[in-house]
């Protein structure tokens, strides 16, 4: 049995006795299971595998313990994966990530599940919390993760895109990251490989050339998805949000601009999320740099996306983004220009630089959507609703498919009850079907090597 003890990193070294107890009750604690699994995911940093079950299978004997020591609480790993070690020593970045997991899980549990440090009584469920409250909570989680103080230079670029992309696309994401890095912008992604790693690698080189020592490579994840997208060790700030909706809100509130690279259904979910928000009438004047970009070979891909947006959300939605093909320098320059507008706007309305309070986000984008078979079947995929609402619905549909692809509990449901069925306006269903088929054909659903088996049926 291998045992590795890790020195604590940062303030998290200091835990109260109540907090340690929460995470050492291994017998029946759901919190412990989540904690253990997130740690395991983090320890698989750099592994290109998006099948959580396959990833976890070899490590059934893996455990993590907290051990009180003179200088704080150490973490003990039992039978950890070897991949995170170099000559027997844990990679420092991964080491940090483990303590980030500890920090965020403990905080969201103690503060937002209503389980106070001492008396785990009155449980307040996240779902009960009102909309304003959710934004405050997203803010509070980011602040607690120390992600806001350094975020007031208006230089955080969120990069979205697939974890499963081709070599050429990957090289391109590095180039864009490099150009952003040369302009002293930071990168925030959802963790994982592909378009979520490339921009960070590129930016790291750009930052080095600019002697930019405050380079941030932020990864925002959530417990049910981190296993499928373990953070690369370049990520130097890992943040775990409670669920996918809070994670998406964290992205848009922390971002000063977003770049969308080619991707699959998850990327489509993200694009629909931001478009749905930007189309809210309160946000009509809100400047939000949003650039879709890829190498020359991806031109068709973006043309298809653009058509899908036009056909579903209409031309107003198209005006919210800019498509730039094969020009990393232009992407970075355009982001620089957009940043100036963001600065003007925030000054004008008195908004914080570090957190986009003034962006209006409707409750439908904030509350947790649990993709059960019933919920998926009941999605109102039709045109009898405001456009933003349709965007929200489509976002939920795609979110469910992502879950069906990679989230272990949803995968289990599918196995038991069969595929999700989606129904609605035939015209919309056809559009969706076409888009999804193209993702499958382009191998964007899952990493190459396995045959993709859809988790859904589109009833056209």
From the list 23-31, 92-100, 319-327, 448-456, the region that binds a copy of itself by CB under 8 A is 92-100
Continuous H helices in 353-386: 373-377
> Any contact of residue 170 with a copy of itself (CB under 8 A)?
no
Of 109, 163, 201, 407, the one binding a copy of itself (CB under 8 A) is: 201
Specify the 3-state DSSP secondary structure of 216. Answer: coil
Told to check if 208 binds a copy of itself by CB under 8 A, we report yes
211 binds a copy of itself (CB under 8 A): yes
Return left, alpha or beta for 418; rule: phi > 0 is left, psi -120 to 50 is alpha, else beta. left
In the complex, the smallest distance separating the C-beta of residue 211 from a copy of itself, rounded to whole angstroms, is 4
Please say which residue, 135 or 405, places its beta carbon nearer to a copy of itself: 135
CB neighbour list of residue 443: distance below 8 Å, 6 or more residues apart: 164, 452
Residue 364 sits in the site that holds a copy of itself (CB under 8 A): no
Total residues in contact with a copy of itself, by rule CB under 8 A: 64
Residues in the chain: 460
**Does the protein bind a copy of itself through residue 143 (CB under 8 A)?**
yes
Q: Does residue 183 belong to the site contacting a copy of itself (CB under 8 A)?
A: yes
For a copy of itself, which residue of 48, 49, 76, 140 counts as binding (CB under 8 A)?
Answer: 140
357 binds a copy of itself (CB under 8 A): yes
Range in contact with a copy of itself (rule: CB under 8 A) among 52-60, 233-241, 419-427, 449-457: 233-241
Q: Which is nearer to a copy of itself, 30 or 119 (CB)?
A: 119
What is d(CA 91, CA 85) in angstroms, rounded to the nearest whole number? 6
Which helix (H) or strand (E) segment is 158 a member of? strand 156-160
Answer yes or no: are the C-beta atoms of 371 and 16 closer than 8 Å.
no
How far are the Cα atoms of 96, 105, 237, 250 from residue 12, in angstroms, in the given order?
11, 12, 14, 22
Spatial separation of the C-alpha atoms in residues 421 and 138, rounded to whole Å: 32
β-strands 186-189, 290-294 pairing:
unpaired
Q: Could you give the CA distance from residue 232 to residue 229 in angstroms, rounded to a whole number?
A: 9
Contact segment (CB under 8 A) with a copy of itself among 205-213, 286-294, 373-381, 439-447 equals 205-213
C-beta closer to a copy of itself: residue 171 or 417:
171
Q: How far is the CB of 293 from a copy of itself (least distance, A)?
A: 18
**Of the candidate residues 234, 311, 323, 440, the single one contacting a copy of itself (CB under 8 A):** 234
């690698």: which residue's tokens?
201
3-state secondary structure of 159: strand
Q: Does 83 bind a copy of itself (CB under 8 A)?
A: no
Question: What SS3 class is residue 381?
Answer: strand
Q: In the bound complex, what is the minimum distance in angstroms from residue 114's beta carbon to a copy of itself?
A: 8
CB of 282 to a copy of itself, least distance (A): 16
Q: Does 14 engage in binding with a copy of itself (CB under 8 A)? A: yes
CB of 234 to a copy of itself, least distance (A): 5
Minimum CB–partner distance for residue 325 and a copy of itself (Å): 21
The three-class DSSP label of residue 248 is: helix
**Contact flag: residue 82 with a copy of itself (CB under 8 A):** no
Task: Closer to a copy of itself by CB, 57 or 86: give it.
Answer: 86
Among 123, 149, 167, 384, binds a copy of itself (CB under 8 A): 149
167 contacts 48 by C-beta, under 8 angstroms: no
366 counts as binding a copy of itself under rule CB under 8 A: no
In 224-262, which positions are buried (b, 16+ CB within 10 angstroms) versus exposed (e)? bbbbbbbbbbbbbbbbbbbbbbbbbbbbbbbbbbbbbbb
Residues 6+ apart with CB under 8 A from 448: 164
Task: Judge contact between 227 and 34, C-beta under 8 A.
Answer: no
Between 91 and 387, whose beta carbon lies closer to a copy of itself?
A: 91
- Residue 389 sits in the site that holds a copy of itself (CB under 8 A): no
Select the residue interacting with a copy of itself from 353, 367, 429, 438 (CB under 8 A): 353
- Distance separating alpha carbons of residues 364 and 394, to the nearest angstrom: 12
Cα 11 from Cα 151, distance rounded (Å): 20
Q: Taking contact as CB under 8 A, which single stretch among the options 74-82, 354-362, 412-420, 443-451 is the one that binds a copy of itself?
A: 354-362
Angle at alpha carbon of residue 404, lines to 381 and 222, rounded to 5°: 100
136 binds a copy of itself (CB under 8 A): yes
d(CA 100, CA 106): 10
Which residues here bind a copy of itself, judged by CB under 8 A?
10-11, 13-14, 16-18, 68-72, 86-87, 91-93, 96, 111, 116-119, 122, 124, 129-130, 132-133, 135-137, 139-140, 143, 146, 148-149, 152, 182-183, 201, 204-205, 208-212, 217, 233-234, 236, 333, 336, 346-347, 350-355, 357
């Amino acid at each position: 049995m291998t045992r590795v003890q890790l020195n604590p990193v940062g303030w998290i070294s200091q835990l109260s006795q109540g907090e340690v107890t929460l995470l050492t009750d291994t017998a029946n604690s759901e919190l412990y299971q989540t904690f253990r699994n997130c740690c395991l995911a983090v320890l698989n940093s750099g592994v290109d595998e998006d099948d959580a079950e396959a990833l976890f299978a070899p490590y059934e004997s893996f455990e993590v313990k907290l051990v009180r020591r003179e200088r704080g609480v150490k973490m003990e790993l039992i039978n950890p994966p070897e991949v995170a070690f170099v000559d027997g020593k844990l990679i420092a970045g991964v080491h940090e990530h483990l303590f980030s997991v500890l920090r965020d899980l403990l905080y969201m549990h103690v503060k937002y599940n209503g389980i106070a440090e001492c008396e785990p009584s009155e449980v307040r469920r996240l779902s009960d919390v009102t909309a304003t409250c959710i934004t405050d909570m997203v803010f509070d989680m980011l602040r607690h993760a120390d992600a806001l103080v350094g975020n007031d230079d208006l230089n955080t670029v969120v990069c979205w895109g697939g974890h499963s992309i081709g070599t050429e696309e990957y090289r391109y994401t590095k180039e864009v990251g490099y150009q952003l890095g040369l302009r002293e912008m930071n990168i925030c992604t959802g963790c994982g490989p592909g378009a979520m790693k490339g921009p960070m690698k590129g930016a790291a080189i750009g930052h080095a050339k600019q002697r930019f020592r405050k380079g941030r490579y932020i990864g925002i994840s959530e417990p049910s998805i981190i296993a499928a997208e373990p953070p690369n060790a370049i990520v130097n700030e890992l943040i775990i949000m409670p669920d996918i909706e809070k994670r998406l809100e964290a992205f848009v509130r922390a971002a000063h601009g977003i770049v969308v690279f080619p991707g699959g259904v998850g990327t489509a979910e993200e694009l629909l999320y931001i478009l749905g928000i930007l189309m809210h009438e309160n946000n009509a004047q809100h400047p939000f740099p949003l650039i879709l970009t890829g190498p020359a070979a991806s031109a068709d891909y973006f043309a298809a996306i653009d058509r899908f947006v036009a056909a579903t959300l209409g031309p107003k939605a198209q005006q919210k983004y800019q498509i730039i093909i094969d020009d990393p320098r232009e992407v970075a320059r355009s982001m620089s220009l957009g940043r100036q507008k963001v600065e003007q706007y925030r000054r004008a309305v008195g908004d914080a630089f570090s957190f986009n309070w003034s962006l209006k986000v409707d409750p439908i984008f904030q509350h947790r959507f649990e993709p059960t078979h019933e919920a998926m079947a009941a999605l109102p995929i039709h045109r009898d609703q405001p456009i933003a609402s349709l965007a929200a619905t489509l976002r939920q549909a795609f979110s469910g498919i992502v879950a069906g692809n990679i989230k272990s509990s949803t995968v289990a449901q599918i196995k038991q009850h069969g595929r999700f069925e989606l129904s609605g306006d035939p015209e919309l269903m056809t559009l969706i079907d076409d888009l999804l088929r193209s993702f499958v054909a382009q191998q964007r659903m899952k990493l190459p090597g396995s045959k993709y088996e859809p988790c859904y049926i589109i009833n056209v």
